[in-house]
Copies of this chain bind each other. A is one copy, B any other.
Amino acid sequence: MSNDTAEITALVERWARAVHEGDLAGVLADHTDDIVMFDVPPPEQGVRGIDAYRATWPPFFDWQRQGACFEIDTIEVTAGDRVAFAQALLRCADADTLRTDPDQRLRLTLGFRREEGRWQVAHEHHSFTLHP
């Protein structure tokens, strides 16, 4: 594993742990000011900028406190000199869904820029499949 791949994998694992612990400062620690997130719910145009990104998390933490998980299952990183992306599959479900649909995954794609000597998240895309 290259240094960049290891650094990015550790960043995403740290972020997912912060999400699960409801640690807002940890969730925001490695994100650019111009982050664009395509979140599971609307807005259609994406969540734009770190202030809008920050505001999405408290309602998610409230939902998670009912006993939901947020765990990385697999992650694959592709890193260049100053741009990288990663695709990951996560368990993100409440206890009922874990029981009835254990194969369900949250699909996550991340885009990174290397700035000021470290990798930072500039784009996130979260989604669930839609059953036809």
Residues of A at under 8 Å CB distance from B? 36, 38-46, 76, 78-85, 87, 89, 103-105, 107, 109, 111, 113, 122-123, 125, 127-132
Chain B nearest Cβ from A49, distance in angstroms = 13
- Beta-carbon contact of A46 and B83 below 8 Å: no
Q: How far is the CB of A126 from chain B (nearest CB, A)?
A: 8
Partner of A87, one of B125, B127, B130: B125
Shortest Cβ-Cβ A-B pairs, 3 listed? A80-B83, A127-B127, A80-B80
Report how far A36 CA is from B116 CA in the complex, Å.
30
Q: Which of B87, B111, B125 is the one whose CB lies under 8 Å from A107?
A: B125
Name the B residues within 8 Å of A123 (CB-CB): 78, 85, 87, 109
